[in-house]
Amino acid sequence: MNGSAAELARTVEALLFLAPDPVPVGELIDACEVSEVQIRNALDLLAEELAPGRRGIVLREVAGGWALATDPGAEPAARRLLARPKTPPLTAAQAETLAIVAYLQPVSRPEIARIRGVSSESGVQTLSERGLIEEAGRSRFGAVIYRTTELFERLFGLNGLEDLPDVTKFDPTPEDAAELRERLLEAGEQRAAP
C-alpha cells in the first residue's frame, strides 16, 4: 500500500488492532508493502496520536514488536464489564449438552452427539469456554471426554454432584429399570432415525 504517512498510520493502527500479539516491524513492512523508513514514520505518527491521556488505547513497544493496549485508567470499568463469569441464559442445545455431561460424566463428545441426535461441537465448545465443563482425559478410543467444573457447581448452586436434581422427577418413564446412559442412547438413536 502506498499513500500519505497519515494513511499508512491508519493502516498500521488497523493491523495492530486486529493482531492478538505484538507485531514485529518486519511484518508490518511486508503487510503494508512499504519501506522500513515509511513504517517508522507511521509508527511515530501513531505514537503521537495515541499518546497516553489522548485516547482510550495507547501504542506500546514491547518485546517482539508493537501492540495496542488499553489506557490503565479504564481498568476498573473493564473489570466490571468483562471480569465476571459469563452467565447468559443457556440455549436449549447448551442445556441438553450440559445435562448429558452433568449426569453421565465422564462422557465423550461422540456419545453426546449420539444422544442428542445432532453434532454437538459448538455446544461443547461454548460450555468449555464459559468454564462450565472441562476435558477429563481421553476415552480408550481416543475421544476427548468431559466433566463438569467447580464453577459449574457454583453457578448452579450445587454443593456437589450428588446435589443434582433426582432425574426420576423428570423421567417420562421412571419405571424403566435400564441404565440411564443406555436409555438416553436409545432415545437418541430413535430421534436420529429418519
Which residues sit at the interface with its own copies, rule CB under 8 A? 1, 7, 9-15, 17-19, 23, 27-28, 30-33, 49, 55-57, 68, 70-71, 73-74, 76-78, 80-82, 91-93, 117-119, 122-123, 125, 128, 131, 134-138, 142, 144, 191
- In the complex, the smallest distance separating the C-beta of residue 84 from its own copies, rounded to whole angstroms, is 9
Q: Under rule CB under 8 A, how many of the chain's residues touch another protein?
A: 71
HSE, side-chain direction, 13 A CA sphere, residue 113: 12
Copy the grid coordinates of residue 76: 476498573
Tell which positions 119-178 bind another protein, by CB under 8 A.
131, 138, 140-142, 150-151, 154-158, 163-167, 169-173, 177
Residue 41 or 185 with smaller CB distance to another protein: 185
What is the amino acid identity at position 124?
Answer: V
Burial of 156 (0-12, 13-18, 19+ CB in 10 A): middle
Closest CA to 11 of 31, 35, 26, 27: 31
- In the complex, the smallest distance separating the C-beta of residue 37 from another protein, rounded to whole angstroms, is 27
Copy the grid coordinates of residue 137: 482425559
